[in-house]
Amino acid sequence: MTQPAGGAGGGGGGGGAAGPGRQHTVLVVDDSALMRRVVAEMVDSFPEFRVVGVARNGYDAIKQVHALEPDILTLDIEMPELDGLQTLGYVMSEAPRPVIMLSAAGSGPGAPDLTIRALELGAVDFVRKPSGPISLDLAKVRDRLHESLKACTQVNLRGVDVLARPRSGKDSTRFTPPAGHAAIVVAIAASTGGPRALAEVVPNLPRSLDAAVLVVQHMPAGFTRSLADRLNSQSQLRVVEAEHGEALTAGRVYVAPGGQHMRAAIVGGVPCVALDDGPSVWGVRPSADPLFRSVAQLYRAASVGAVLTGMGRDGAEGLRAIREAGGGAVVQDRASSVIYGMPQAALSLAGADRICPLADIAGAISELVAERRERAR
């Protein structure tokens, strides 16, 4: 049930939490003995984590998950016999715990699609593997892995039930967007756990939604096009990776490209997507705050902001700008958030018109858009 504004959702448990004073245990899964050693050494170099075992394939991993009960898994995506996606599916359904996917730096063109699918299935994050034990990118990979492991310690696995599915699939009724450009804009922010959350929210936005939808998911370049394509295959609205200068039209979803900030802007008198590679905000690019502030400035009361699961506080200041401009605000509740950082920060700073479990967010967005459409008549 949607909650009224004024209080956060119910509490949720941390799936990867270790007890006070003990290290978080990690199972390293990879078909390469060299990579198992490299990843295990990196994990053991972090004082708050300890490798409890290694596994050479998916079958071995499942056996060791039950025998060792690790707090966290690092899981290779591409393995023989039982691959990473199949192993992940089993773990999340039978022995759920935080999982970080590891993808080879030289993976082929299908790798981003596999990574997006893994995030939909419940993986907390993904990290590109180092190219070797003395590779130039080792320090960068090590820092990224440490960041992902720390995120795993804050995960609320009770908020991750089953793989998100659209409620009714693509709508067979024909919808023609109104002439001209979008008169209402919805801005959505997501980070850790976001691809899975977006797979629940975006496909359940109705074909008749009279708004353009702009999405910022914290994700590096090379993966957001696969995210957009995946959402498009499931959704009633057209979903695209945003391009600089394209017009904002109702009934379309624009996903910010990895590595670029996205804003709403007026170009030649027409509302358009504006992309730039300016400095990171809150350590990320794309960041939700620049998008939300631009939407508030241009669309004022004809704007809706939604903040979904994720670490940090990106989107909180932007959501406040939207509410101060008269726009609507939706915040994911604690119980259904994989990580409650961003929703909690947004709720604390900006408040919300709707505080919703994940399954109700698409409906709440639709209601707030409908309210703004009625006011404009």
Tell me the pLDDT band of 134, cut-offs 50, 70 and 90. Answer: low
| Residue 360 is a catalytic residue | no
Tell me the pLDDT band of 10, cut-offs 50, 70 and 90. Answer: very low
The domain ranges of the chain are: 24-154, 185-376
| Residue 303 is a catalytic residue | no
- Unique residue bearing structure tokens 């947004």: 346
- Given this model, what pLDDT does residue 18 score? 53
Between vectors from CA 93 to CA 237 and to CA 74, what angle results, nearest 5°? 90
Encode pLDDT of 251-308 as tens digits: 999 999 999 999 999 877 788 999 999 999 999 999 999 999 999 999 999 999 999 9
How large is the average pLDDT for residues 158-166? 55
Alpha-carbon distance 44 to 108, whole Å?
Answer: 30
Residue type, 342: M
Encode pLDDT of 214-238 as tens digits: 999 999 988 999 999 999 999 999 9
- Given this model, what pLDDT does residue 13 score? 37
Alpha-carbon distance 141 to 57, whole Å?
Answer: 22
- Given this model, what pLDDT does residue 12 score? 35
Quote the mean pLDDT of the chain: 86
Q: What is the share, in percent, of the chain residues with pLDDT greater than 90? A: 68
In this structure, what token pair is assigned to residue 340? 């409650």
Of 138 and 286, which is predicted with more confidence? 286
Q: Is the pLDDT of residue 168 over 60?
A: no
Alpha-carbon distance 58 to 308, whole Å?
Answer: 31
Q: Which residues contact 48 (CB under 8 A, 6 or more apart)?
A: 23, 24, 150, 153
Alpha-carbon distance 39 to 359, whole Å?
Answer: 36
Among 60, 103, 218, 294, which one carries the catalytic annotation?
Answer: 218
- Given this model, what pLDDT does residue 103 score? 82
- Given this model, what pLDDT does residue 160 score? 60
Q: Which residues contact 253 (CB under 8 A, 6 or more apart)?
A: 202, 205, 212, 213, 214, 215, 228, 231, 232, 235, 237, 238, 239, 240
- The answer to whether the 24-154 and 185-376 domains have the same CATH topology is yes
Among 314, 333, 353, 360, which one carries the catalytic annotation?
Answer: 314
- Given this model, what pLDDT does residue 178 score? 36
Q: Which CATH number fits domain 185-376: 3.30.450.60, 3.10.20.90, 3.40.1010.20, 3.40.50.180?
A: 3.40.50.180
Asked if residue 316 lies in contact with residue 337, where contact means CB atoms within 8 angstroms, the answer is: no
Which is the CATH superfamily of the domain at 24-154? Answer: Response regulator (3.40.50.2300)
User: What is the CB neighbour count within 10 angstroms for residue 53?
Assistant: 18
Alpha-carbon distance 30 to 34, whole Å?
Answer: 9
Report which of 165, 160, 159 is spatially closest to residue 122, judged by C-alpha positions.
160
Among 191, 235, 303, 336, which one carries the catalytic annotation?
Answer: 191
| Residue 71 is a catalytic residue | no
- Lowest-pLDDT range of 49-53, 142-146, 149-153, 158-162: 158-162
